[in-house]
Amino acid sequence: MTDRSHLIGHTYTPYTFPVEHGKVREFAGAVKDDDPVYRDVEAARAAGYAHLPVPPTFSAVTSHWAVRDTDVLGLDLRRVLAGGSEWEYLGDVVAGEWMTVRSRIADVQYKTGSRGPMTLVITEYDFVNQHEETVLRLRSTVIELGEQ
Amino acid sequence: MREPDTVPAAPERRVGPLTRTDFVRYAGAGGDFNPIHHDETFARAAGYPSVFGHGLLTAGILGGYAASWLGRRNLRRFNVRYVGQVWPGDTLVFSGEVLRTETGPDGSVEVEVGLAVHSEADGREPRLVLRGGATAAYPAPATEGSRS
């Protein structure tokens, strides 16, 4: 197994992205969420939001904006699985806002499971809005299975 | 006397059968173009019987389920752990249960729930594909009653 322990603490280049009306609507459709607050501004305002709020896992769209740093992990995509994620909601995120994403490799773990040895890479993301408020935290685990 | 439940019993929701088009739509919305989710040749070469859905697609649908059950504005934390793959043709079955309800000194209530997604397909036993959880917070009632 490739030793990646030295990557713990690695910080990715921060990036800023706009929360777009059309993207909110597209994402809600892709996850089959028919709540009108994700497509109708009037429904969103009636629910108390300044504009369309974002679905709970909308943070996924940041992969469209992330800065493509040098691939420090060097994972083999054929052996990569998503492990899991945890979102912490600290404030509203609505269309029209700007988010800055600061992320770092929080941990690298080695385990042996039913599918043999595996490497777990845990990344933490802070989402900070244009008012410098941290409105969302995300912790995500990616698994690379051992070579067959 | 038992206090009324803060949240109703979890509804059951079924989504599917999912198609390759659903996976491609999610890839575009979320920006995850790992070919294992849309390129049959790549997926087979990696040892899988076909392409399979993004974990975040299942997580995204579950997030909507949790938000509609617990209240979008009440959601404080949401987590998922991927247990198994979702294949084209699978129908996802969403369920949840209240694990803990805690009333704070100010009358606010925090509810912790467990969530699960099972996958059903013709001729196969339902399989657990995702295990999750969520925490929701409910403010104290605005009018102070004669609580004792």
Low-confidence ranges of chain A (pLDDT < 70): 1, 148
What residue of A is the nearest CA neighbor of B65?
A: A33
Whether residue A128 contacts residue A99, with contact meaning beta carbons closer than 8 Å, is answered with yes
Phi-psi region of A112 (alpha: psi -120 to 50; beta: other; left: phi over 0): beta
Q: What's the pLDDT at B3?
A: 54
B144 pLDDT higher than 60: no
Q: What is the pTM of this model?
A: 0.91
Whether residue A76 contacts residue A136, with contact meaning beta carbons closer than 8 Å, is answered with no
What is the fold, at CATH topology level, of the domain defined by A5-19+59-145? Thiol Ester Dehydrase; Chain A (3.10.129)
pLDDT tens, B84-115? 999 999 999 999 999 999 999 999 999 999 99
B143 pLDDT higher than 90: no
Write down all domains in chain B, each with its CATH number in brackets.
13-138 (3.10.129.10)
Q: Average pLDDT for residues B25-32, to the nearest whole number?
A: 94
Other CB atoms closer than 10 Å to residue A79's CB: what's the count? 18
Residues 6+ apart with CB under 8 A from A32: B15, B61, B64
Q: Do A81 and B75 touch (CB under 8 A)?
A: no
Instruction: Say whether residue A46 is in contact with chain B using an 8 A CB cutoff.
Output: no
Nearest CB to A56 within list B36, B42, B75: B75
Q: Do A78 and B25 touch (CB under 8 A)?
A: no
Taking the CA atoms of residue A111, residue B55, residue A62 and residue A44 in that order, the dihedral angle to the nearest 10 degrees is -140
Q: What's the pLDDT at B147?
A: 47
**Selection from B133, B94, B81, B132 nearest residue B111 by Cα:** B133
B1 pLDDT higher than 50: no
